[in-house]
């Protein structure tokens, strides 16, 4: 039985292709093959893009990483932190200090995701719809999701924090909040801001928050896998990526082709420059790739985390995980990439199958195969 609709795997070094494999189908039922211009849901592989945009604004002097987020988002002033009790008798305390832009980059803010636990804070998120409309982690009992980015930020501001700002890594809507910061700083909607800052100059024509009529024939069907094989759960023509009123979530709502994302990854592997145009200084890229907190309870390995990227080390490499010296992130659609500016290496895996439940071990296996190939290439 089929266990994966299809995949594209690419390894490059200094712009030269080492491996480029395309297997399977864009749509299994109609036998449309995958290609380099097939359009994938990035989910959390949107986060590195938004994080890079924040660093660009910091380099331009439009913001500082130590600024309180409430300077741009007053909705996040006077937040409170969970202390004890259940959902209906919760005890909270004031924040000891405000959430900063740096906290948001590090997922160190105390903000949560509705699907990363079952504490009273997570239960609050579910009951009050502190989420965007996505098939990832949703249950029928959840409250109606936020309809706009501003509404999501307002709901986050009213929700209790999981811990005091600076209290450690917890995977969250922090990057979604950074998208709202970009909107307030630039005075543009997030889609237009990222288009001008990154997508147009990098040559990423199929990257964004929406899929047009023209792009629709190249948009992948979304699948999930179980014991009986794969099942389609979102058809291209029924996707919310067709809805131009959808919430612009810079943490998980973009689409791209493998060719587009490769351009973004090449820029990072080149230390912030591509085709003689500089997007970030090499120093800013190095800062993003420097571990400052530790990822715990996310996936099968513990790594350091910088500004939007997990950072591989000797221990993660020895366990078959992320190679040492690489910066990486992944998405819920089983997408994954890593870069290493020192060696000029990058690797990219694109698929269109959601990864929770019984498919998680197989997802990890896919990444391990790519990781081992990168380790061999770096020797």
Using one digit for the tens of pLDDT, what is the confidence trace for 104-120? 999 999 999 999 999 99
pLDDT tens digit sequence for 170-209: 999 999 999 999 999 999 999 999 999 999 999 999 999 9
pLDDT at 138: 83
pLDDT at 225: 83
pLDDT at 45: 98
Q: Evaluate whether the domain defined by 6-45+208-378 bears CATH number 1.10.4080.10.
A: no
CA distances from 71 to 78, 99, 100, 238, 332 (A): 12, 10, 9, 38, 32
pLDDT at 208: 98
Residues recorded for the chain = 379
Whether the CB-CB separation of 350 and 366 falls below 8 Å is answered with no
pLDDT band at 362 (very low <50, low <70, confident <90, very high): low
Does 356 score more than 70 pLDDT? Answer: no
Distance between CA atoms of 188 and 179, rounded to whole angstroms?
11
pLDDT at 298: 65
DSSP labels, 80-122: EEEEES-TTS-EEEE-SS--BHHHHHTT-SS---TTS--SHHH
Rounded average pLDDT over 43-69: 98
pTM: 0.96
For the beta carbon of residue 75, count every other beta carbon within 10 angstroms. Answer: 20
pLDDT at 100: 98
Rounded average pLDDT over 59-72: 98
> 80-84 and 273-274 as β-strands: parallel, antiparallel, unpaired?
unpaired
CA distances from 296 to 144, 218, 258, 303 (A): 30, 37, 29, 8
List the beta bridge partners of residue 350.
Answer: 8
pLDDT band at 377 (very low <50, low <70, confident <90, very high): confident
pLDDT at 227: 73
Does 53 score more than 80 pLDDT? Answer: yes
pLDDT at 86: 97
Does 285 score more than 90 pLDDT? Answer: yes
**Residue ranges of the alpha helices (H) in 206-355?**
258-269, 282-288, 314-318
Distance of CA 163 to the CA centre of its chain: 22
Does 320 score more than 90 pLDDT? Answer: no
Average pLDDT of the chain?
93
Does 357 score more than 70 pLDDT? Answer: no
Does 226 score more than 80 pLDDT? Answer: no
How would you class 97 by CB atoms within 10 Å of its CB: exposed for 0-12, middle for 13-18, buried for 19 or more?
exposed
According to CATH, the topology of domain 69-186 is Methane Monooxygenase Hydroxylase; Chain G, domain 1 (1.20.58)
Closest CA to 280 of 341, 324, 336: 341
DSSP labels, 324-369: TT-EEEEETTTEEEEEETTTTEEEEEE--B---GGGHHHHHHHHHH
Question: Which is higher by pLDDT, 31 or 358?
Answer: 31
Does 360 score more than 70 pLDDT? Answer: no
pLDDT band at 300 (very low <50, low <70, confident <90, very high): low
Whether the CB-CB separation of 152 and 183 falls below 8 Å is answered with no
Distance between CA atoms of 171 and 52, rounded to whole angstroms?
18
Q: What percent of the chain stands above pLDDT 70?
A: 96
Domain boundaries, the chain: 6-45+208-378, 69-186
Q: Is the dihedral of CA 24, 26, 27, 30 positive or negative?
A: negative
Does 364 score more than 80 pLDDT? Answer: no
358: which 2 tokens?
């019984």
DSSP 8-state code for residue 280: S
How would you class 320 by CB atoms within 10 Å of its CB: exposed for 0-12, middle for 13-18, buried for 19 or more?
middle
Rounded average pLDDT over 241-266: 97
Rounded average pLDDT over 117-139: 92
pLDDT band at 29 (very low <50, low <70, confident <90, very high): very high
Rounded average pLDDT over 327-347: 95
**Beta-carbon-side half-sphere exposure of residue 318 (alpha carbons within 13 Å):** 4
Whether the CB-CB separation of 176 and 254 falls below 8 Å is answered with no
How would you class 224 by CB atoms within 10 Å of its CB: exposed for 0-12, middle for 13-18, buried for 19 or more?
middle
pLDDT at 358: 53
Element (H, E) at 16: strand 16-27
Distance between CA atoms of 195 and 250, rounded to whole angstroms?
12
Report the phi/psi class of residue 33: left, alpha or beta, with left for phi > 0 and alpha for psi in -120 to 50: beta
pLDDT at 372: 87
pLDDT at 1: 43
């Amino acid at each position: 039985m089929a266990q994966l609709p299809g995949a594209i795997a690419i390894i490059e070094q200094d712009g030269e292709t080492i491996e480029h494999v395309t297997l399977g189908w864009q749509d299994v039922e109609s036998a449309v093959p995958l290609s380099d211009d097939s359009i994938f849901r990035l989910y959390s592989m949107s986060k590195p893009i938004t994080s890079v945009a924040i660093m660009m604004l910091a380099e331009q002097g439009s913001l500082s990483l130590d600024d309180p987020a409430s300077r741009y988002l007053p909705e996040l002033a006077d937040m409170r932190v969970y202390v004890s009790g259940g959902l209906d008798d919760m005890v909270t305390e004031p924040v000891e200090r405000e959430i900063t832009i740096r906290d948001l980059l590090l997922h160190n803010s105390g903000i949560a995701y509705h699907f990363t636990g079952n504490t009273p804070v997570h239960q609050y998120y579910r009951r009050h719809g502190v989420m965007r409309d996505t098939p990832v982690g949703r249950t029928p009992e959840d409250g109606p999701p936020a309809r706009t980015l501003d509404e999501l930020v307002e709901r986050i501001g009213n929700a209790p924090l999981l811990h005091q700002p600076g209290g450690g890594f917890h995977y969250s809507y922090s990057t979604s909040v950074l998208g709202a910061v970009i909107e307030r700083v630039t005075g543009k909607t997030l889609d237009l801001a990222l288009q001008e800052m990154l997508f147009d100059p990098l040559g990423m024509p199929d990257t964004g928050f929406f899929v047009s009529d023209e792009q629709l024939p190249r948009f992948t069907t979304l699948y999930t896998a179980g014991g009986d094989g794969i099942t389609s759960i979102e058809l291209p023509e029924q996707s919310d990526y067709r809805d131009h009123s959808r919430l612009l979530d810079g943490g998980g709502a973009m689409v791209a082709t493998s060719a587009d994302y490769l351009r973004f990854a090449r820029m990072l592997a080149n230390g912030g420059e591509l085709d003689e145009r500089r997007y970030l200084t090499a120093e800013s890229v190095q800062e993003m790739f420097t571990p400052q907190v530790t990822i715990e309870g996310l996936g099968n390995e513990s790594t350091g985390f910088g500004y939007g990227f997990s950072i591989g080390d000797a221990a993660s490499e020895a366990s078959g995980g992320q190679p040492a010296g690489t910066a990486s992130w992944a998405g819920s659609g089983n997408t994954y990439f890593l870069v290493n500016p020192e060696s000029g290496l990058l690797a990219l895996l694109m698929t269109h199958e959601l990864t929770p439940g019984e498919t998680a071990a197989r997802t990890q296996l896919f990444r391990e195969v790519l990781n081992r190939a990168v380790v061999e290439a770096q020797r």
